[in-house]
Amino acid sequence: MPESPDATEATRLTRLHAHEQASRLRAGEVSARELAEAHLATAERQNHALNAWLTIDRKRALAEADAADARLAAARAGGSLEAEHPLLGIPVALKDLVSVAGGQCTAGSRILEGYVAPYDAHITERLRDAGAVILGKTNMDEFAMGSSTEHSAFGPSANPWALDRVPGGSSGGSAAAVAAYHAPLSIGTDTGGSIRQPAALCGIVGIKPTYGRVSRYGIVAFASSLDQIGPFARDSRDAAALLHAIAGRDERDSTSSPAPVPDALLHLAESDDEAVATLRGKRLGLPREYFVAGMEPGVEAQVREAVAALESAGAIVEEVSLPHTEYGLATYYIVAPAEASANLARYDGIRYGPRLGDGDVLANYLATRGRGFGAEVKRRIMLGTYALSAGYYDAYYLKAQKVRTLIKGDFDALWARGFDALVAPTSPTVAFRLGARMADPVAMYLSDACTLPVNMAGLPGISLPCGLSDGLPVGLQLIGAPWSEAGLFALARGYEGLTAGADWRGREPAALAAADDPATPAPRERVAAPV
């Protein structure tokens, strides 16, 4: 661990939650520049061992921090500090599929290497308006296809709890960065579990909002009927504040909803007792199909313990059924690849990205796409193209869309019965070893068995840390009706209050000291046999 007084101070600052950093900024006890410096130094020191970041933009971040300090000073002088956004001066990491004008945006792919975003994504604009400080861009599975970050063209990331294990994916870099105190907040995207599963595996909070809650303008698309943007944080209050900042209607994404963004997201209970009191009388469904075969006993034990704790606080827990759960995986792995094959047709080497081959147009397409995409992306494009091809459309794509209706109907029936939320594991296992699932795509796909039905139904789902199994984090998933994010966060905050004194809450990721050591191998050196 760091020894110099400066390093100790940096460590102290990075341990603060975003809302604590905001209080100190307003009290004038710390500057946005000091916060940015502390987080940048931590990220730069540990990125060799974690590979959480693809770009750390120190110069831009410090300029933004200075601007935030100026804005804070003006607001202080003008007596309008209270009116400023809670994210003013707070460091944030963005998954490398969010456009930041003038910066690289690779989506984890060689086919976008060298591409410079010509404009800001909607959420980038929103973060700028709030005065957040963007530190850089994080690693991810190529085009968000994967559950481990191992499908990044730029090498895998490591889990801060155990460097020989994956952080989950596809938003693994964003999750690892927040878990390792490189930033208090980050942005991910979730198409089948890509926020919730890495949040679970890294021991932090992550929410996939309702489909349509956040505009996707300026985000690299994967599967457009499923993709949604959401926040990572180390507690529910911070995640809710970040969601509040990015949510809402944007004309440039016709799927973004005009549904009002609840201000309750900014006012979650501060006191643990108050938070716990809101749990009384809440109706929670426990879907029996989510306690699947192949679930690790340690995961099941922690999740069941969390459910018992919620019950002891006055929540009414009832076992329920989502009968079409077993069809979710097959349905998802038709719908998502089909949409991906269409979305990724745009990567043709004509307008941007590398152009390979020196033949005619067709030869260039084949070379650019054949060499520019990685193995998993090619697999999914092949699956999707096949599922949409003449003669197979009805048997695969149309069939999957019909089963999707049944999966959504399972959830709708429970909302009609008045459940406030469903409680389930986020991932059937804790973080697995680097390389363990790379040779078997289906084994990798099973990582998302408990998260992907939520995307199929367009619902919000949040993952919360709920304990450790063999020293590795376990995630508790809360699933809600459409637009019920504020309700989910109230439950999440209640559970946090309930477990505030738990031994595991005080634990830091076990591999941070190793991540500080420059002699520690990079994650890619730990992978035994890449495909």
Partner 1 sequence: MATLSRSDVEHVAYLARLGLSDEELTRLEGQLNHILDQYAILATLDTDAIPPTAQTIELENILREDVALASLPVEDVLRNAPARDGDFIVVPPILTERD
Q: Which residues bind partner 1 (CB under 8 A)?
A: 114-116, 118-119, 210-212, 225, 251, 254-255, 257, 324, 326-327, 329-331, 333-334, 341, 345, 348-355, 359-362, 364-367, 369-371, 373, 375, 378-379, 381-383, 385-386, 389, 392, 395-396, 398-406, 408, 441-442, 457-458, 482
Q: Check 31, 95, 174, 215 and give the catalytic one.
A: 95
Nearer to partner 1 (CB atom), residue 290 or residue 396: 396
Instruction: State the minimum distance, in angstroms, from the CB of residue 60 to partner 1.
Output: 17
- Has 148 been annotated as catalytic? no
In the residue annotation, 225 being an active-site residue is answered as no
Q: Which of 99, 170, 427, 484 is catalytic?
A: 170
Please say if 109 is a catalytic residue: no
CB nearer to partner 1: pick between 359 and 521: 359
Show the CA angle centred on residue 472, arms to residues 466 and 473, nearest 5°.
Answer: 25
Burial class (CB in 10 A: 0-12, 13-18, 19+), 205: buried
CB of 251 to partner 1, least distance (A): 5
CB of 299 or CB of 457, closer to partner 1: 457
Using CA atoms, how far apart are residues 426 and 523, in angstroms rounded to an integer?
24
Distance of CA 387 to the CA centre of its chain: 28
99, 147, 194, 447: the catalytic one is 194
Between 370 and 521, name the residue whose CB sits nearer to partner 1. Answer: 370
**Which residue shows structure tokens 């643990």?**
272
List residues bridging with 53 in a β-sheet: 138
Beta strands in 65-204 (DSSP E): 91-95, 133-138, 185-190
Comparison of 308 and 439: residue with beta carbon closer to partner 1: 439
| Cα–Cα distance, 452 to 474 (Å, whole number) | 18
Q: How far is 160 from 518, CA to CA, in rounded Å?
A: 15
Check if the beta carbon of residue 97 is closer than 8 Å to that of residue 107: yes
Which helix (DSSP H) or strand (DSSP E) does residue 284 occupy? strand 283-287
Per residue, what are the HEC states of 177-225? HHHCCCCCEEEEEECCCCCHHHHHHHCCEEEECCCCCECCCCECCCCCC
What is the nearest approach in angstroms of partner 1 to the Cβ of residue 330? 5
Give the Cα separation of 150 and 441 in Å (integer): 12
Least separation, in Å, of the C-beta of 440 and partner 1? 8
Residues known to be catalytic: 95, 170, 194
